Amino acid sequence: MTVTVSTESSVIDQQLAEARAAIAALPTLERVFFTACGGSYAVMMPNEYFVSSRSTSLETAAFNAAEFTARASRRVNSQSVVILCSHSGTTPETVEAARHARAAGALTVAFTHELGSPLAEAAEYVIAYQHGEGKSEAYVAPSLMLRLVAGLLDDHEGSTHGAAVDAAVASLPSVVPAVKAKYADAADAWGFSYRREELIYTMASGSNYGPAYSFAICLLQEMQWVHSAAIHAGEYFHGPFEITDVDVPFIALLGLDETRAIEERAVKFLTAHSERTLVIDAKDFGLDHLDESVRGIAAHLIFGVVLRTFADALADHRGHPLSVRRYMWRMDY
């Protein structure tokens, strides 16, 4: 079934502006929390990284939605913004997290594809991103969330990230097709070579860890039933590198943010001891036109696209559509 775009860009821009204005109007902002589950949780990670690495005053953290509610932190209050995401807007844990945060006095902003969903009803402000055939890469959840976060930093700290992030996001509709074309043949060859693999690890750090995590738990485990784990490149030498061998498959990401040296160290060892390593380097994405101050964080938006290209090829060669599930949506759990 083909899913089509349900929200016009002008409507989304208005929703984004309203949420940003509400955050800017807060008398005091001390904390920004990001919470979701699964692939939506992975979207939160780069944004938490951006706030944490750029802010001079804000505390920030990203949590799985069930744990966010279970922790019931007293630091979630009227001086907090809680940003949530659920594609369907029906993820029970995320809906409950929105209700919990709102009851605690926090300002809540939800990203979802479904405006009439329980999450949209639970949150104060809703941004309905595009998805499916006809979508613009400038209006998908990761792009819009990064714009909101950059604006938040500008409004509360007087920074100037917003314009550079907006320009980077606006360039995506022209950048993404070129990147997909660039990796099409390599993805097809990789998908054919790895179609029988039962296990594939991913590795990254910094703002790129979110896409690596999403690829491992969503695209490989959930959608292909391939065993995987996302290994943080900084943790690689503190246990995980012992499973490295000539025939153990890895996908390793090299980003453009402040943690690239951490990834490079891990990749250097990995490629010396494994013959089955795919390295995807953001230097090959053609992002030199972007402002250097946001080039690193913008790279994660492209990693998501590139990794999906490899996942599509793997699914095709395995004869296992990405839409097939054993349990999800098929039974109560």
Counting Cα atoms < 13 Å in the Cβ hemisphere of 14 gives 5
pLDDT of residue 5: 54
For 120-130, what is the mean pLDDT?
97
Dihedrals φ, ψ of 123, to 5°?
A: -90, 155
Residue 329 burial (C-beta neighbours within 10 Å; 0-12, 13-18, 19+): exposed
For domain 179-318, the CATH superfamily is Glucose-6-phosphate isomerase like protein; domain 1 (3.40.50.10490)
Residue 276 burial (C-beta neighbours within 10 Å; 0-12, 13-18, 19+): middle
281: helix, strand or coil = strand
What's the CA gap between 130 and 151, in Å, rounded?
A: 20
N-to-C CA span, the chain: 25
Q: Could you state, in order of their start, the residue ranges of all structural domains in the chain? A: 9-168, 179-318
pLDDT of residue 6: 61
> What are the contacts of 161-170 at 24+ separation with CB within 8 A?
161/54, 161/293, 161/294, 164/290, 164/291, 164/293, 164/294, 165/294, 165/297, 165/298, 167/290, 167/291, 168/290, 168/291, 168/294, 168/295, 168/298, 168/301, 169/138, 169/143, 169/144, 169/298, 169/301, 170/138
The dihedral formed by the CA atoms of 204, 142, 217 and 192, expressed in degrees to the nearest 10: -80
Q: Do domains 9-168 and 179-318 have the same CATH topology?
A: yes
Residue 205 — very low, low, confident or very high, per pLDDT cuts 50/70/90?
very high
290: helix, strand or coil = coil
Mean pLDDT of the chain: 96
pLDDT of residue 7: 86
What's the CA gap between 60 and 51, in Å, rounded?
A: 7
27: helix, strand or coil = coil
What's the CA gap between 25 and 311, in Å, rounded?
A: 42
Summarize pLDDT for 143-195 with one digit per residue, the tens: 999 999 999 999 999 999 999 999 999 999 999 999 999 999 999 999 999 99
Quote the pTM value: 0.95
What are 212's two structure tokens?
A: 């690596």
pLDDT of residue 248: 98
Summarize pLDDT for 53-106 with one digit per residue, the tens: 999 999 999 999 999 999 999 999 999 999 999 999 999 999 999 999 999 999
Residue 1 — very low, low, confident or very high, per pLDDT cuts 50/70/90?
very low
Order of strands, sheet of 230-232, starting from the edge strand that comes earlier in the sequence: 230-232, 201-204, 250-254, 277-281
Q: At what angle do helices 141-157 and 38-54 cross, to 10 degrees?
A: 30
Name, in order, each residue with C-beta under 8 angstroms of 149's C-beta and a sequence gap of 6 or more.
32, 47, 50, 51, 83
Dihedrals φ, ψ of 106, to 5°?
A: -75, 155
CA angle 253, 148, 105 (to 5 degrees): 115
What's the CA gap between 153 and 20, in Å, rounded?
A: 10
The CATH-assigned architecture of domain 9-168 is: 3-Layer(aba) Sandwich (3.40)
Residue 329 has pLDDT above 90, yes or no: no
For 279-286, what is the mean pLDDT?
98
For 99-116, what is the mean pLDDT?
97
Q: At what angle do helices 172-193 and 161-170 cross, to 10 degrees?
A: 60
Summarize pLDDT for 217-274 with one digit per residue, the tens: 999 999 999 999 999 999 999 999 999 999 999 999 999 999 999 999 999 999 999 9
Residue 3 has pLDDT above 50, yes or no: no
Residue 131 has pLDDT above 70, yes or no: yes
Residue-by-residue DSSP string for 85-133: E-SSS--HHHHHHHHHHHHTT-EEEEEES-TTSHHHHHSSEEEE---SB
